[in-house]
Amino acid sequence: MKKQQQYQLLDKKTVHKSYTRWIMFNLVATSYEFLEAFGFAYSMEPVLKKLYDPKSKEYREALKRHSIFFNTEPQLGSLITGITVGLEEQRALGNKEINGDFINSLKVGLMGPVAGIGDSMIPGMIIPILLSIGMGLGQGGNVLGPIFYIVSYNLIAILGSRYLYYKGYELGTASVDLFVGDVAKKVTQAITVLGTVVTGGVAASYVTVGLPIKIQMANATLDIQKILDGIFPSLLPLLVVFVSWYFMAKRHVSPIKLILAYFIISFVGYGIAYGIMAL
């Protein structure tokens, strides 16, 4: 399909309203049965009202079509919303190659590839990088750290998703090639590896666990932490990272519960260590 001309039946205000609804309300009224479906339908509503008579059968069918199960990474997922808007416009213009089943199949087909790339890129790479910079700036109680993270993340998310939305609307089905095929798989794998490296770097820099146990001997002091560092430096932080990953990924323990557990363990452990050193 050739690159379509923008705003043939839709105007800029309607398209922008659709994008704003998606980026603001993509996770509204979620459930296991629908997830982002209602957010998607809500973003499509102004477009459908512009293309079809709200009392017509076409309008009802289109709104129903966009209310079925939908789930993807929201920021990169704006590309799918933009593509769908463009396809609905082409369908309303009378393009016989595009029907409701084609639009729905394309949405469903893009959910997985876009989610794979988006989840690897945003939670797996961008967020850890921004958090590491923010934590570095925020050391000592500097308010610049959280401000940097909030501003930088929102700028990247909003500007990036807006660009992808309009690019999807502009290219239509031609943008599918960006997220399907061998190239997309290689990009996803590269981003996943990079995200893993970044997460490991953040953990190594900011996770600190020590055993402040020093046993007084007859002629010397036995420092347990120095012994562990001599055998395997940063062994305890590494174990904490693996244990955290295991409980969250395999046992589905929430981060809040894990933090509370670590607090209790630290409190009890400090008491035990203090008692040992007092002997």
- Same domain membership, residue 150 and residue 16: yes
Is residue 274 in some structural domain?
A: yes
| Percentage, residues of the chain above pLDDT 90 | 3
Is residue 34 in some structural domain?
A: yes
Smallest CA-to-CA distance from 65 within 95, 98, 97 is with: 98
Q: Which of 165, 200, 235 is the last residue of a domain?
A: 200
- Same domain membership, residue 214 and residue 181: no
Is residue 7 in some structural domain?
A: no
- Position 1 pLDDT exceeds 50: no
Q: Per residue in 41-93, pLDDT tens? A: 889 988 888 888 888 888 888 888 888 888 888 888 888 888 888 888 888 87
pTM of the model: 0.63
Is residue 169 in some structural domain?
A: yes
Is residue 57 in some structural domain?
A: yes
- Same domain membership, residue 250 and residue 164: no
List beta partners, residue 215. Answer: 222
Residue 3 pLDDT grade (very low, low, confident, very high; cuts 50, 70, 90): very low
Q: Per residue in 152-207, pLDDT tens? A: 999 988 898 898 888 888 876 565 555 555 655 665 566 566 656 666 766 666 67
Angle between helices 182-206 and 235-249 (to 10 degrees): 130
- Same domain membership, residue 270 and residue 170: no
- Same domain membership, residue 136 and residue 243: no
- Same domain membership, residue 35 and residue 111: yes
- Same domain membership, residue 148 and residue 223: no
**Residue, of 261 and 276, whose pLDDT is higher:** 261
- Same domain membership, residue 226 and residue 196: no
Is residue 1 in some structural domain?
A: no
- Same domain membership, residue 268 and residue 166: no
Is residue 55 in some structural domain?
A: yes
Overall domain count for the chain: 2
Residue 151 pLDDT grade (very low, low, confident, very high; cuts 50, 70, 90): very high
Task: Residue 216: give the domain boundaries.
Answer: 209-278
Which pLDDT value is given to residue 109? 78
- Same domain membership, residue 255 and residue 138: no
- Same domain membership, residue 38 and residue 163: yes
Q: Which of 200, 220, 245 is the last residue of a domain?
A: 200
- Same domain membership, residue 163 and residue 130: yes
Q: Which of 200, 234, 269 is the last residue of a domain?
A: 200
Is residue 49 in some structural domain?
A: yes
Q: Per residue in 106-135, pLDDT tens? A: 888 778 777 877 777 787 778 888 888 888
Which pLDDT value is given to residue 185? 63
CA angle 198–210–146, rounded 5-degree value: 45
Q: Per residue in 204-244, pLDDT tens? A: 666 777 777 777 776 777 777 777 777 777 788 888 888 88
